[in-house]
Structure 1
């Protein structure tokens, strides 16, 4: 039976830890895994991308496969072809799909009709590949994941949603601080709490960034205006006091890690000074997209 990765919770805690550990191994020898030799992997991108596209294209190549980059406008999807028909056609050609799109519901529908594994490379609801790479980065730096505290400060977007669910599944504490009215999805919070009942993770939603980052091992942020929301620039006014700056991170753990999934709008969600202080870590996050996703593809596509 095929396995998809549309949500972090599609994997068990043990599977996530296995993928992280194998990703660290692949980082030391980039061409050691050739499990995609002879396979063609479709990369459907309905949204622009830098890190996601590069990491998946390079990753498939390094694993011996053929990456096929497909823009939304280059398929019949742009002319109204049914998603289920697209999925059934692509099943005849491809060995796996990586999809970056707007609607999570449409991704789920595509996964029903594509008969091989599908990876969520970002939707409006979740960004699970980003969090896999972030967890690998944290594990490399701290030597552990379970029991840590991750504080997310900013907009309750797809990245915040995914952090909550990941915390519940793996068993680490997550505190999300947003302005009032910008909280994470209630669906994500519900799922996080459901998993947390089993793992003992603590899940917190607050409108106070100082409260969120108190004693945090990791302080994480993302842009306030996500891709596709460029017409909502006025919402930035609501985020006053939610910048990750030196004043805020003083409330975190002494050896705090400050992370950002990029691209960064310095001076908004993160100060220039804090970004540069943690730049090596932030760009290691970006690099680890390659290694964590190769490990994931080995798990799903081989």
Structure 2
């Protein structure tokens, strides 16, 4: 590969590249063998310093299905724990691996340091952004609706890394209306919200954020929520649950839009951010969404490896 492709933030993708990866994910959802073993002979490292069920399995299974071999690293396996610098670690790994997929709690600069060499790096979740989750979400929406353009999406809950990724992805598609309803004090980071508003302005869409559940949009295609307690984080306010209570997605919320579907990035806590009748009900596509993590992970691996 002459040009190394990284996916550390969705900002690393052009609009055309974003659409390309999503469409490849949709194709793989139709036929997981669609592109064959295009990564045969390559070795992909999978390093997760934080827990993961869906993302780690998706990238491991996806790499194997594409013909690559996998080396898995846990939180205690690399000598980052003994004081080796992340720059040195990246230099060493890039001489032995063809790509690295990682999840950490550190800032994006750490991943950029690993990406300073010849090895494609994929952000499988960081504290700031969860780009591969958004790609799975867009793959799910495209599979469900046959389009992303013009969709009306209501996101309810914390302005966390999943929300940040959606804010950097959905508004690139023409006519999308993206409403964030986040608890007071737990909204999107102002610079990320500003990015999303600018993207929407460019594509003829709308992005809004409010910190209450009144005046909800008249029309909605997708209601999306996430765990109140984001993986690997804690909240300093001991009374935070009281602030989040009004933002539960239940039958009364879904009843406003009889044709809307429900999405959740999982894992879910029934009775907190969503009630069981919604998550397990006929309008929930949350487990289809989880399944599409495999297809979008394969599309990401294929793209970062220069195989598409």
Q: What TM-score do the two structures reach when normalised by structure 1?
A: 0.94
Gaps of 5+ in 1: none
1:258 equivalent to 2:262? Answer yes
Q: Which of 171, 190, 194 is matched with 1:168 structurally? A: 171
In structure 2, relative to structure 1, the CA distance for the partners of 1:74 and 1:162 (3 Å cut) is same
For the residue of structure 2 that corresponds to 1:251, the secondary structure is: coil
Paired residue for 2:104, among 101, 104, 115?
101
Of 272-281 and 78-87, deviating more is 272-281
Equivalent position of 2:155 in the other structure:
152
Greater shift, 18-27 or 268-277, is seen at: 18-27
Q: Which of 269, 273, 279 pairs up with 2:273?
A: 269
Which of 229, 241, 244 matches 2:246?
241
Counterparts in 2 of 1:212 and 1:163: CA distance versus 1, 3 Å: farther
In structure 2, the residue matched to 1:66 is 69
Q: Which moved more, 1:208-217 or 1:36-45?
A: 208-217
Structure 1 86/214 Cα, relative in aligned 2: closer, same or farther at 3 Å?
farther
Change (3 A) 1:231 1:11: closer
Q: Are 2:122 and 1:110 aligned?
A: no
- Asked if structure 2 preserves the Cα contact closer than 8 Å seen for 1:41 and 1:68, the reply is yes
Gaps of 5+ in 2: none
Offset, 1:210: 4.1
Deviations 1:42-87 (A, max 9, x none): 1111101000111111000000001111113110111221111111
5 Å-filtered alignment, 1:9-20, equals 9-20=11-22
Q: SS in structure 2 opposite 1:98?
A: strand
Whether contact under 8 Å (1:258, 1:278) holds in the other structure is no
- In the TM superposition, residue 213 of structure 1 has moved relative to its aligned partner by 5.0
Alpha-carbon shift at residue 168 of structure 1 (Å): 2.5
Distance 1:105 1:14 in 2: 23
Give secondary structure in 2 for the equivalent of 1:97: strand
Alignment CA distance shift 1:118-1:211 (3 Å): farther
* Count of equivalent residues: 301
Structure-1 residue corresponding to 2:28: 26
1:122 aligns with 2:125: yes
Q: Distance in 1 between matches of 2:273 and 2:284?
A: 18
1:286 aligns with 2:260: no
> Is the alpha carbon distance of 1:126 and 1:38 closer, same or farther for their aligned partners in structure 2, counting shifts above 3 Å?
same
Go from structure 1 to structure 2 and tell me whether the alpha carbon gap of 1:86 and 1:213 turns closer, same or farther (over 3 Å shift): farther
Q: Which of 155, 162, 183 pairs up with 1:179?
A: 183
Distance in structure 2 (CA, Å) of the matches to 1:187 and 1:95: 33
Which whole-Å CA distance do the structure 1 matches of 2:127 and 2:60 have between them? 22
Q: TM-score, normalised by structure 2?
A: 0.92
Q: Quick one: structure 1 residues 278 and 118, their matched pair in 2 at CA, closer, same or farther if it must change by over 3 Å?
A: farther
SS state at 2:180 partner: strand
Change (3 A) 1:279 1:92: farther
Distance 1:4 1:68 in 2: 19
What secondary structure does 1:194 align onto? helix
Contact persistence 1:90–1:114 (CA under 8 A): no
Distance 1:179 1:75 in 2: 38
